[in-house]
């Protein structure tokens, strides 16, 4: 079922409004069980279609960057704002200083149709935020594949390792271009994750950047650009890592083993 759109989308905000309500319902059905004390946070209210469905079930904290839309949304949701069921914040989330509790000081679950051009940036921030306990989001399919990819898959990258370290991401379903107005040039995907742990070890992301700096090159050569070659040879033999292996062919567990040993050597343990 589709709804008529009565707002001119703005390219600078990457606005593609989901007009097929069936996909909104599928997103709602995909939200994991919410623990007592956890909040629902939405980024990009847009015309409020997902927001409307969320408000039927939860109290909500929602962000919208478009000032013109905010003026309309404040009028539309005034009774719910007054009643304390909705906290509407008219602000660019990327302008919020990053800290523990980036989007909220309490524990929260992010449910959002993310703008394509900032989706990866936002997801990295919520992954790093210990107050974020999980998410259900829609992004460009290519982005979703990178976050959810498993070892040996072509899309497996540093983002994949980070995500699989913190929990078990799950691809849910695709959303075709025709479900939006205006239609984007790419297919979208909805994926979710509940975090098992909430904090990455200091230095782990930096090692991953080195490991994946040249994906087509051998992993050993990438790591050797930063770390001691002789020690790396010992580690590769210890963990049965082939000398010709590429970064995307190594498991998340093995990356942690490499990191723990490099860290121990650095501190002389």
pLDDT digit string (tens) for 205-246? 999 999 999 988 999 999 999 999 999 999 999 999 998 999
Where does the pLDDT of residue 5 fall: very low under 50, low under 70, confident under 90, or very high at 90 and above? very low
Please check whether residues 180 and 220 belong to one and the same domain: no
pLDDT at 11: 55
For residue 66, give the CATH number of its domain: 3.40.50.150
Q: Residue 230 and residue 22: Cα distance in Å, rounded?
A: 57
Token digits of residue 62: 């929602």
Domain boundary among 175, 194, 213: 194
Domain boundary among 139, 167, 194: 194
For residue 54, is pLDDT > 90?
Answer: yes
CB-based contacts of 115, cutoff 8 Å, min separation 6:
13, 14, 15, 44
For residue 247, give the CATH number of its domain: 1.10.8.100
Q: Identify which of 13-27, 152-166, 180-194 has the greatest average pLDDT.
A: 152-166
Name the phi and psi angles at 190, rounded to 5: -105, 130
Rounded percentage of the chain residues whose pLDDT exceeds 90 = 75
Mean pLDDT over the full length of the chain: 90
Name the phi and psi angles at 3, rounded to 5: -120, 145
Q: Is residue 6 part of a domain?
A: no
Range of the domain at 110: 11-194
Mean pLDDT of 144-162: 97
The predicted model scores a pTM of: 0.90
> Is 147:163 a contact under the CB 8 Å cutoff?
yes
Please check whether residues 188 and 210 belong to one and the same domain: no
Per residue in 38-47, pLDDT tens? 999 999 998 8
Please check whether residues 152 and 47 belong to one and the same domain: yes
Show the DSSP H helices in 94-228 as ranges.
119-128, 141-148, 158-166, 204-211, 219-224
Rounded percentage of the chain residues whose pLDDT exceeds 70 = 93
Please check whether residues 154 and 240 belong to one and the same domain: no
Grouping H, G, I as helix, E, B as strand and the rest as coil, residue 230 is helix
What contacts 24+ positions apart, CB below 8 Å, involve 56-63? 57/28, 58/34, 59/84, 59/85, 59/86, 60/85, 60/86, 60/87, 61/86, 61/87, 61/89, 61/103, 61/104, 61/108, 62/86, 62/87, 62/88, 62/89, 63/89, 63/90, 63/91, 63/93, 63/103
Mean pLDDT of 113-126: 92
Number of residues written out for the chain: 269
Please check whether residues 252 and 149 belong to one and the same domain: no
Domain boundary among 130, 161, 194: 194
Q: Other CB atoms closer than 10 Å to residue 73's CB: what's the count?
A: 22
Q: Residue 25 and residue 27: Cα distance in Å, rounded?
A: 5
Counting the structural domains of the chain, the total is 2
pLDDT at 152: 95
């Amino acid at each position: 079922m589709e709804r008529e759109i009565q707002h001119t989308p703005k390219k600078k905000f990457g606005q593609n409004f989901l007009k097929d309500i069936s996909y909104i319902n599928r997103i709602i059905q995909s939200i994991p069980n919410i623990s007592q004390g956890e909040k629902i946070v939405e980024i990009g209210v847009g015309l409020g279609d997902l927001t409307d469905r969320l408000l039927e079930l939860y109290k909500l904290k929602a962000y919208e960057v478009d000032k013109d839309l905010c003026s309309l949304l404040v009028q539309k949701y005034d009774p719910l704002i007054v009643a304390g069921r909705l906290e509407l914040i008219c602000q660019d989330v990327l302008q919020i200083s990053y800290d523990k509790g980036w989007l909220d000081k309490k524990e929260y679950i992010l449910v959002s149709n993310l703008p394509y051009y900032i989706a990866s940036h936002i997801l990295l921030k919520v992954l790093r935020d210990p107050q974020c306990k999980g998410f259900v989001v829609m992004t460009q399919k290519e982005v979703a594949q990178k976050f959810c990819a498993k070892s040996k898959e072509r899309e497996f990258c540093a983002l994949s390792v980070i995500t699989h370290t913190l929990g078990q991401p799950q691809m849910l379903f695709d959303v075709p271009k025709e479900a939006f107005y205006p239609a984007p040039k790419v297919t979208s995907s909805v994926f979710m994750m509940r975090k098992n742990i909430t904090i990455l070890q200091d230095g782990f992301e930096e090692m991953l950047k080195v490991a994946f700096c040249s994906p087509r090159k051998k992993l050993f050569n990438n790591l050797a650009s930063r770390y001691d070659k002789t020690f790396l040879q010992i580690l590769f033999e210890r963990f049965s890592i082939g000398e010709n292996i590429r970064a995307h062919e190594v498991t998340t567990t093995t990356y942690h083993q490499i990191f723990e040993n490099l860290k121990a050597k650095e501190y002389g343990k």
